[in-house]
């Protein structure tokens, strides 16, 4: 099969795929690990086209995940989501260690502090994209995980370690 050029990854052979490809990118002021994962050795041209389009719009998708975080935080009934992540870290680490100002709204500051560290793409899975957010890799091994479909629509948010 032919070589195909993907944004961020360059040329790949769509008929002799490796299991994964990794690169480091900088988007919206953040250094992010970007990985591309395949379960098979080949991919259909239509799936490759969807992947290419998603990568072309990666910055927009990243902004959309920020909206999902804010919306999930606003939903007081959401389990294992943003509020859980914030409460866990406030209890475990405390306000000082989180580096937030006691005079302002702590959660609002945490919403501004949380940032993306990884984007994993799985073009042959229903969980097309996985975004990992954290307060810092050195600070915690827990991440807030946002999963989206190939259109960038939210499928779910959870906390993982």
- Tell whether the model's pLDDT for residue 94 goes beyond 90: no
- Residues 104-145 pLDDT 10s: 888 999 999 999 999 999 999 989 999 999 988 778 899 999
pTM: 0.94
Residue 13's DSSP bridge partners are 3
C-alpha closest to that of 4 among 121, 15, 123: 15
Determine contact, residues 4/15, Cβ cutoff 8 Å: no
Q: Does residue 1 register a pLDDT over 60?
A: no
pLDDT band at 78 (very low <50, low <70, confident <90, very high): confident
């Amino acid at each position: 099969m032919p070589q195909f050029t993907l944004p961020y990854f360059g040329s790949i052979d769509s008929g002799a795929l490796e299991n994964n490809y990794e690169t480091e990118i900088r988007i919206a002021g953040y250094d992010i690990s970007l990985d591309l994962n395949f379960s098979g050795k080949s991919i259909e041209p239509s799936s490759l086209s969807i992947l290419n389009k998603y990568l072309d719009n990666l910055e927009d998708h990243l902004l959309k995940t920020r909206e999902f975080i804010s919306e999930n935080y606003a939903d007081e009934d959401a389990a294992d989501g943003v509020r859980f992540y914030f409460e866990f870290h406030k209890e475990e680490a405390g306000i000082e260690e989180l580096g937030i100002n006691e005079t302002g709204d702590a959660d609002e500051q945490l919403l501004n502090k949380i940032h993306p560290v990884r984007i994993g793409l799985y073009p042959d899975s229903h969980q097309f994209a996985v975004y990992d957010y954290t307060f810092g890799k050195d600070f915690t091994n827990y991440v807030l995980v946002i999963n989206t479909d190939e259109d960038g629509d939210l499928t779910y948010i959870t906390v993982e370690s």
